[in-house]
Chains A and B, each alone.
Chain A
Amino acid sequence: MAQSTAHRRLLQEYKSLTNNPPDGITAGPVSEDDLLHWEALIEGPEETPFEGGIFPAELKFPKDYPLSPPTMKFTGWIFHPNVYKNGSVCISILHPPGEDPNHYEHASERWSPIQSVEKILISVMSMLAEPNDESPANIDAAKMWRERRDEYNDMVRQGVLKMLGL
């Protein structure tokens, strides 16, 4: 076998993402030599304070992909209840099945081999629009989002403008 399962599968996914890219999402390996390291760009969803922004992120795949999920990290500025301050994304689809360390996610919401990079990116995009403040990764952001929504929206808009160099 010349290629491992992970390579074969990632190549397949890359192909379908390039041929049929979903709206507002671009993703692919950083270089053809290392298929386990991807880069993605996500557009801020419309009618949210993230609108107009382009958010770069990196995806790292484990060797046993698709049995285990990849990890995802925003590399630029982001202020969101479900993103840690270092940029790591906390979302149920990225959590492996089995024992749930947080004890609130259903097995069906978590990672399984039939999920895909495309589904992850779409989930993250909808997460930007609708944060889940039940299990915040960034407590400050969650508190602000919950209690002072206007201030949160302003802060995100400012961040987006700054990122765009305006």
Chain B
Amino acid sequence: MDSDEDFMSNLSSDEDLIQDDSDNVMEDLSGAEDFDDFDDFDEEDDSDEDIGLQKDIMSKKKYSNEISFTVHRPEDIQKQQDDMINEVNMILELRKEDAAILLRHFRWDNQRLLETYMEDPNRVLEAAGLGANVVGPPKLEAIPGFVCDICCEDKYGLQSFAIKCGHRYCVDCYRHYLTQKIKEEGEAARIQCPADGCPRIIDARSLDLLVTSDLRDRYRELLNRTYVEDRDQLKWCPAPDCINAVHCGVKKKDLSRIVPIVECTCKHRFCFGCILADHQPTPCELVKLWLKKCADDSETANWISAHTKECPKCNSTIEKNGGCNHMTCRKCRHEFCWMCMGLWSEHGTSWYNCNRYEEKSGTEARDAQAKSRKSLERYLHYYNRYANHEQSARLDKDIFQKTQKKMVNLQSASGMSWIEVQYLNAASQCLQTCRQTLKWTYAFAFYLARNNRTEIFEDNQKDLEMAVEALSEMFEKPVTELAHSKLKVDILDKTAYCNKRRIILLDDTAEGLANGLWEFQVEIGNNGQTSRQ
């Protein structure tokens, strides 16, 4: 290792190593496609040297939870648009800016555009906001006797502008109109002629002629944004300050059978279906249900019914905060027994001691109570575990910083080299990813119906959780102990084990989802593969 470059590429290869193995497979795929190949190949050459063996084994098999996708940088997005525009420009012999407007009108479906255009070019041009008449390049003109309809200016030599439709306004008014549209309304792809009701769209070249350069940049940015938004297979990476878009072929209707997790080159992992952070193995629909359940106060209502009782006569909600079982409702003065909810008068002489069994008056009230308490307990069981892992995930940043410090300390304490302490970084990353997965396994399990598959799922979940906790414990050991080579080997083993268990769990759940094998307590998807209990 003799140059900085080598040093850096080793850094990236190590990052590869610490992510779960699925990434390697995905990068193979993305590398094979057109974009980002330069970076990817760089990384892969190096990682092959380091972990070639492991990688070979891993990339042989494609797991069910993996999907293929590509990350596009802004240049790529621009290039794609330019390519399509050039193609249409060549085939239809239209001006490039007109081809762009047509493509936007057809939401970048060039096949449909060509077919429809061939059938009836004039109708297509009209619908897209382009007239059939051809004019020269856009230019400013000073026409004698011209009066601007907006500002009523008529001075000699006034520069004016009009697009194909011929609605002519002075340069200042036109510029003001475009600034308003771009800056305030965020419009770009469909800016119409300022004249009332005129459907003609202003093209990019005319715009360039009229506005200042900062507005032009904003215009291009907005055009790129509409391009990505218009295409169903493209989505922006939601990470803060990330400017990439991800391309993925998963369709909306498949979301109940697949959890399309993609990873941007900025390292952010997110779901292509709902843009939320990685929520494998839970499908988007259940994620939505779960988050809603956690957020709204339906559980407050459940708590009330589990911890309070209603007066059998006036239905006021009562929480017993101590004392004997002889209740007197403060509102209606009804007297009843807290234990059996029956009339207190029926208790006769056995005051302060309800030993009567199953009187009619109390049975029903108690049944409803028990049911709602059970449902609350079930929810809390899953929620507590979910929240616990979420809490740990929130400490991610903290853990990461601590790891960096630990690695420095370890280097000075044990004399290990930088590369020799990287296993700690790997362990920390592994912990984070696994906790993220574990968190969502609880939301998933909450909606599962009880059957054998669920048992297997819970076993997988238990295995992963125990491994993660064990790794977490080792990871927190003081630096003096970490210096022992035995612990290092243990941590390396555990890290690999955790990653493997995680893949197994995700593979199994994804396979079940794809084949509709899971039985949920709620209905998801349109194909009615699930049943309600």
A139: which B residues are within 8 A, CB to CB? none
Interface assignment of B149: CB less than 8 Å from any CB of chain A: yes
Interface assignment of A57: CB less than 8 Å from any CB of chain B: no
- In A1-21, the 8 Å CB interface with B consists of 5, 8-9, 11-12
CB distance from B500 to the nearest CB of A (A): 51
Pick the contact of B150: A11, A66, A99, A119 (CB < 8 A).
A66
What 0/1 pattern do residues 147 to 160 of B give for CB contact below 8 A with A?
A: 00111110000000
A98: which B residues are within 8 A, CB to CB? 180, 184-185
- In A106-121, the 8 Å CB interface with B consists of 107, 112-115, 119
Pick the contact of B173: A12, A107, A113 (CB < 8 A).
A113
- The answer to whether B153 and A5 have CB atoms under 8 Å apart is yes
What 0/1 pattern do residues 133 to 163 of B give for CB contact below 8 A with A?
A: 0000000000000000111110000000000
A114: which B residues are within 8 A, CB to CB? 149-150, 194-196
Interface assignment of A49: CB less than 8 Å from any CB of chain B: no
Most buried by A among B152, B176, B185: B152
Interface assignment of B41: CB less than 8 Å from any CB of chain A: no
- The answer to whether B196 and A115 have CB atoms under 8 Å apart is yes
What 0/1 pattern do residues 110 to 135 of A give for CB contact below 8 A with B?
A: 00111100010000000000000000
Interface assignment of A97: CB less than 8 Å from any CB of chain B: yes
Majority DSSP secondary structure for residues of B touching A: loop
- The answer to whether B151 and A5 have CB atoms under 8 Å apart is yes
B185: which A residues are within 8 A, CB to CB? 97-98, 107
Interface residues contributed by chain B, number (CB under 8 Å): 15
A97 to B149 Cα, complex, angstroms: 19
Q: If the complex has contacts A113-B173, A113-B177, A115-B196, are A5 and B184 also in contact, measured as CB distance less than 8 A?
A: no
A115: which B residues are within 8 A, CB to CB? 196
Pick the contact of B176: A8, A67, A99, A119 (CB < 8 A).
A67
B180: which A residues are within 8 A, CB to CB? 97-98
B195: which A residues are within 8 A, CB to CB? 114
CB distance from B446 to the nearest CB of A (A): 36
CB distance from B285 to the nearest CB of A (A): 28
What 0/1 pattern do residues 361 to 384 of B give for CB contact below 8 A with A?
A: 000000000000000000000000
Count class of interface residues, chain A: 10 to 19
Pick the contact of A99: B149, B152, B184 (CB < 8 A).
B184
A112 to B184 Cα, complex, angstroms: 13
Q: Taking CB as reference atom, which chain B residue is nearest A9? A: B152
What 0/1 pattern do residues 72 to 101 of A give for CB contact below 8 A with B?
A: 000000000000000000000000011100
A137 to B149 Cα, complex, angstroms: 32
- In B289-329, the 8 Å CB interface with A consists of none
CB distance from B181 to the nearest CB of A (A): 8
Q: Taking CB as reference atom, which chain B residue is nearest A107? A: B185
- The answer to whether B151 and A66 have CB atoms under 8 Å apart is yes
B173: which A residues are within 8 A, CB to CB? 113
Most buried by B among A99, A112, A113, A115: A113
B177: which A residues are within 8 A, CB to CB? 112-113
A152 to B64 Cα, complex, angstroms: 66
CB distance from A132 to the nearest CB of B (A): 20
A82 to B134 Cα, complex, angstroms: 46
- The answer to whether B153 and A113 have CB atoms under 8 Å apart is no
- The answer to whether B152 and A8 have CB atoms under 8 Å apart is yes
- The answer to whether A97 and B184 have CB atoms under 8 Å apart is yes
A67: which B residues are within 8 A, CB to CB? 176
Q: If the complex has contacts A97-B185, A99-B184, A113-B177, are A8 and B151 also in contact, measured as CB distance less than 8 A?
A: yes
CB distance from A10 to the nearest CB of B (A): 9
A114 to B196 Cα, complex, angstroms: 7
Q: Taking CB as reference atom, which chain A residue is nearest B187? A: A107
A11: which B residues are within 8 A, CB to CB? 152
A9 to B173 Cα, complex, angstroms: 13
A115 to B149 Cα, complex, angstroms: 10
Most buried by A among B151, B184, B187: B151
Q: If the complex has contacts A98-B184, A98-B185, A113-B177, are A5 and B196 also in contact, measured as CB distance less than 8 A?
A: no
A8 to B195 Cα, complex, angstroms: 19
Q: Taking CB as reference atom, which chain B residue is nearest A1? A: B155
A98 to B152 Cα, complex, angstroms: 24
A99 to B176 Cα, complex, angstroms: 16
A144 to B177 Cα, complex, angstroms: 41
B184: which A residues are within 8 A, CB to CB? 97-99
Most buried by A among B150, B153, B184, B185: B150
What 0/1 pattern do residues 183 to 223 of B give for CB contact below 8 A with A?
A: 01101000000111000000000000000000000000000
A112: which B residues are within 8 A, CB to CB? 177, 194, 196
A67 to B169 Cα, complex, angstroms: 14
Extra pairs beyond A11-B152, A112-B194, A113-B151 (13, CB < 8 Å):
A5-B152, A8-B151, A66-B150, A66-B151, A97-B184, A98-B185, A107-B187, A112-B196, A113-B150, A113-B173, A113-B176, A113-B194, A114-B196
Ranked nearest first, the 9 interchain pairs of A and B with the lowest CB-CB distance are: A98-B184, A8-B152, A113-B150, A5-B151, A9-B152, A12-B152, A114-B196, A114-B194, A107-B185
Q: List 20 A-B contacts (CB under 8 A).
A: A9-B150, A9-B151, A9-B152, A11-B152, A12-B152, A97-B180, A98-B180, A98-B184, A107-B185, A112-B177, A112-B194, A112-B196, A113-B151, A113-B173, A113-B176, A113-B194, A114-B149, A114-B150, A114-B195, A114-B196
